Amino acid sequence: MSSKFIVRGGNRLGGKVKVGGAKNSALKLMAAALLTEETTVLTNAPLITDVRTMAAVLERLGASVRYSEPDVVEIKPSYPLYAEAPYELVSQMRASIIVLGPLLARLGRARVAMPGGCNIGSRKIDMHIRGLEVLGARIEVGHGFIEAYSEKLVANKIVLDYPSVGATENLLMAATLAEGVTVIENAAREPEVADLAKFLNKMGAKIEGAGSSTIQIEGVNKLHGVEYMVMPDRIEAGTFLVAGAITGGDVIIEDTIPGHLELVINKLRSIGSIVEVYKTEIRIIGSDSIHAVDIATLPYPGFPTDLQTQFMALLAIAGGTSIITENIFENRFMFVGELNRMGSDVRTEGRHAVIRGVPSLSGAPVKAPDLRGGAALAVAGLAAEGVTEVSDIHHIDRGYQNFEHKLRMLGADIERVGE
Ligand code: UD1
């Protein structure tokens, strides 16, 4: 039997919760460790399933990966490295595609299975491929694999059609060892991209402008091993903020960077919560009456798609009608059917969801369809009447470390059963 969360709703959350290292940064830093033969040590690394999957990918490529509790990952990509990332691993996690750029830059070739991963839309990789071609790589796609070759990558100007996070990061890593100065325009501005650039610069890369839409990378011959602390996870922080708001609680999120959540905090205030911002902490005091608001997801600094489902759970019990527009991934409404089983009134039409607030949700058996949708269902359960059973929680474990434990510390009635 696979595990489930049993959530008994109705408790107001209170107290302090520490946020871990960012999944979406840690995975890229691990891949970037392939760019040197020296040892990389990551601290504040979240020990979640996706990090373990990336570790398995790196091990398959010939690196050794060691964890030490509570949050240290040590990577040594000893020589020789293999250039092939197999389907059995890449299919578990789409983000594995991020090894393409580093492998190509370091070995001059890479063979990476076409990704599967989170079941949220078609998620193409054309911009990764086109960008690497602009840097001089020869790429063939066929038989379920992407094969890339290049004796030496040569710097160039790359203009992305869209500020894709993964494409920006793959190209950023590849360009660190290319000959000359690469410029990426219309680059993704997510804080995780800036974190990756900071890490690469510590390794000896010469990158300017990461975090803005133009990034300049002067190629170097060699990078070296470093110790680096992964930035805090803004999506985990946002999820606990919603858990505080939906239960009318009083929660302090610790070890976070409030500046990464500006728009999210504004929305919580519009919804009626009181939010106090400190240097590395955010306090949320939820209100008993939740106001309806409209939300549109957009690339950073816009509203993050990774918090869209959690906010929908919150708006499900608002006094009024809200509209959520999902502009990033076409299939991120998959959890709506499950949420409606808990008594919400949500209708979707293409990219739009119309959420008519109901007075309360009712506990029900539901299935986590994906990572963020699963977390949102557990959060909805905190505010629902009666018992919510969330199954398929392996999706939630991909991105949240000790999720139920942290919620329990805040006073939630949630337990994991089965294994
Ligand atoms: C990353 C995050 C994910 C987050 C997303 C958007 C990781 C591991 N995942 O995903 O949690 O939700 O950013 O903030 O960091 N696209 C193309 N062609 C491409 C690349 C992307 O069409 O070559 C499209 C995708 O299908 C999608 C959109 O662009 O519709 C955004 O994708 P992208 O920004 O690349 O997200 P990921 O890097 O996959």
- Measure the CA–CA gap between 245 and 185, rounded to whole angstroms: 38
Q: Please indicate whether residue 96, judged by its CB atom, sits closer than 6 Å to ligand 1.
A: no
Report the atom number in ligand 1 closest to the C-alpha of 372: 11
Nearest in space to 224 (alpha carbons), one of 207, 205, 203, 199: 203
Per-residue pLDDT, 124: 83
- Measure the CA–CA gap between 262 and 329, rounded to whole angstroms: 22
Q: Which member of 29, 30, 51, 118 is catalytic?
A: 118
CB of 36 closer than 8 Å to CB of 29: no
Residue of the CA atom closest to atom 33 of ligand 1: 164
Q: Is 359 exposed, middle or buried (0-12, 13-18, 19+ CB in 10 A)?
A: exposed
**Distance of CA 57 from the midpoint of ligand 1 (Å):** 20
Tens-place pLDDT, residues 369-385? 999 999 999 999 999 99
Please name every residue paired with 215 in a beta bridge, in sequence order, or none if there are none: 184
**Distance of CA 326 from the midpoint of ligand 1 (Å):** 13
The phi, psi pair for 141, rounded to 5°, reads -120, 125
Residue of the CA atom closest to atom 25 of ligand 1: 123
Placement of tokens 């019990």 in the chain? 317
Residue 118 known to be catalytic:
yes
Q: Please indicate whether residue 126, judged by its CB atom, sits closer than 6 Å to ligand 1.
A: yes
Q: Which of 29-38, 324-333, 373-382 has the lowest mean pLDDT?
A: 324-333
The model's pTM is 0.97
Q: Please indicate whether residue 124, judged by its CB atom, sits closer than 6 Å to ligand 1.
A: yes
Q: Which amino acid is at 338?
A: E
Tens-place pLDDT, residues 179-192? 999 999 999 999 99
Q: Please indicate whether residue 123, judged by its CB atom, sits closer than 6 Å to ligand 1.
A: yes
Report the atom number in ligand 1 closest to the C-alpha of 188: 34
Residue of the CA atom closest to atom 16 of ligand 1: 124
Q: What secondary structure, in 3-state letters, does 368-395 show? A: CCCHHHHHHHHHHHHHCECEEEEECCHH
Per-residue confidence at 330, pLDDT binned at 50, 70, 90?
Answer: confident
Placement of tokens 């969801």 in the chain? 353
The phi, psi pair for 119, rounded to 5°, reads -85, 60
Inter-axis angle of helices 234-246 and 262-271, nearest 10? 10
- Measure the CA–CA gap between 325 and 344, rounded to whole angstroms: 18
Name every residue whose Cβ is closer than 8 Å to that of residue 409 and which is 6 or more positions away in sequence.
15, 17
Q: Which of 328, 351, 395, 400 to mutate to test the pocket of ligand 1 (most atoms within 8 A of CB)?
A: 328
CB of 356 closer than 8 Å to CB of 321: yes
Q: Is 246 exposed, middle or buried (0-12, 13-18, 19+ CB in 10 A)?
A: buried
Mean local confidence (pLDDT), 108-136 = 80
Per-residue pLDDT, 200: 98
Per-residue pLDDT, 123: 58
**Distance of CA 171 from the midpoint of ligand 1 (Å):** 14
Q: Please indicate whether residue 306, judged by its CB atom, sits closer than 6 Å to ligand 1.
A: yes
Per-residue pLDDT, 80: 83
